[in-house]
Amino acid sequence: MRMPGLLSVWLVSVTLVACSGGKGGPTESTQRTGPTVVASAEARFTPSAITVPAGGSVTWRFEATPHNVTFRQAVGAPADIGGANANTSVSRSFRTGGTFLYDCTLHPGMSGAITVGQGSNPPPGEPPPGYPYEP
């Protein structure tokens, strides 16, 4: 009987097909568009203030030190990026115009602002109106 030999060939064939991958399309990380904000070990967002068009997206790149992004209450603000994120990137889309202020709740004083609408990024040293927000 040659069953063990046929079984081995079948197992190798199934393994090769299973390991050949999925659809081969780009992953989420390669589809990013728009600016990237880096959350660094120095407890700051860089850049801290940016402008995107309505419908644009922003990607937060979290380095080795854990951070999160919590948006201050505003109509049209995207979902928070909760938890303690490290060594990963997360994107959010902004569909509503306005200025959206955010903080890292793990590091007091670590704040940023996303302005959605017409215009360009403010010159260095000139944050958008309403930033930083003093409650």
By residue range, what is the domain housing residue 107? 33-135
Name the pLDDT band for 4 (thresholds 50, 70, 90). low
Q: What is the pLDDT of residues 13-24, one digit of tens each?
A: 433 333 333 333
* Whole-number pLDDT of residue 81: 98
> For the chain, what is the domain count?
1
- Identify whether 48 is part of a domain: yes
Cβ within 8 Å of residue 111, ≥6 positions away: 45, 48, 101, 102, 103, 104, 131, 132, 133
- Identify whether 28 is part of a domain: no
- Identify whether 77 is part of a domain: yes
Q: What is the CATH number of the domain that holds 62?
A: 2.60.40.420
**Which of 64, 56, 50 lies closest to 101, judged by CA?**
50
- Identify whether 55 is part of a domain: yes
Arithmetic mean of pLDDT, 20-29: 33
- Identify whether 18 is part of a domain: no
pTM reported for the whole predicted model? 0.65
- Identify whether 1 is part of a domain: no
Least confident of 3-12, 102-111, 114-123: 3-12
- Identify whether 2 is part of a domain: no
Q: What is the pLDDT of residues 55-108, one digit of tens each?
A: 999 999 999 999 999 999 999 999 999 999 999 999 999 999 999 999 999 999
